[in-house]
Amino acid sequence: MPLMTVTEPAATKIKQLMSEEEDVSVLRVAIQGGGCSGFQYGLGFDRGPVEGDVAFEMYGVQVVVDPFSAPYLQGAEIDYVDSIEAAGFAINNPNAVSSCGCGHSFQVEEGDTDTTVGGCGSGCSA
């Protein structure tokens, strides 16, 4: 079972966006300190996995997660929403005990994971 899942609509959008970029082959998902709830999600394209990354493929999309972010993303789902209210990627994370209104940052239960979160790996942007 993969670390997290990617829905088919999200995979379709990711493949479309990747086709417009040069020299990228994977979607890098990370968590970073910051945001209005303590952590925020980082999605970006990268050339490939680096040592220690958790890697999996879903609907033809290669996804990598750095070892610092993996515990926070266990069981999460990346979806793509396109509605009258919003369009974009949404991460549904069962580890988040609260999240902010923008849906891009979250908090986890104290003691659930190592709170000394490092960087997000290579190539992702804030």
Residue 119 lies in a domain: no
Confidence label for 5 from pLDDT (cuts 50, 70 and 90):
very high
**How high is the pLDDT of residue 76?**
94
Residue 117 lies in a domain: no
Percent with pLDDT over 70 in the chain? 74
For 68-94, the pLDDT digits (tens) are: 999 999 999 999 999 898 889 989 988
**How high is the pLDDT of residue 20?**
95
Residue 97 lies in a domain: yes
Residue 30 lies in a domain: yes
pTM of the model: 0.75
Domain that holds residue 99: 5-108
**How high is the pLDDT of residue 111?**
54
Is pLDDT above 50 for 13? Answer: yes
Residue 118 lies in a domain: no
Residue 122 lies in a domain: no
Residue 120 lies in a domain: no
Find the CATH number of the domain harbouring 18: 2.60.300.12
Confidence label for 100 from pLDDT (cuts 50, 70 and 90):
low
Give 98's strand partners: 107
Is pLDDT above 80 for 42? Answer: yes
Is pLDDT above 90 for 61? Answer: yes
Q: What is the number of domains present in the chain?
A: 1
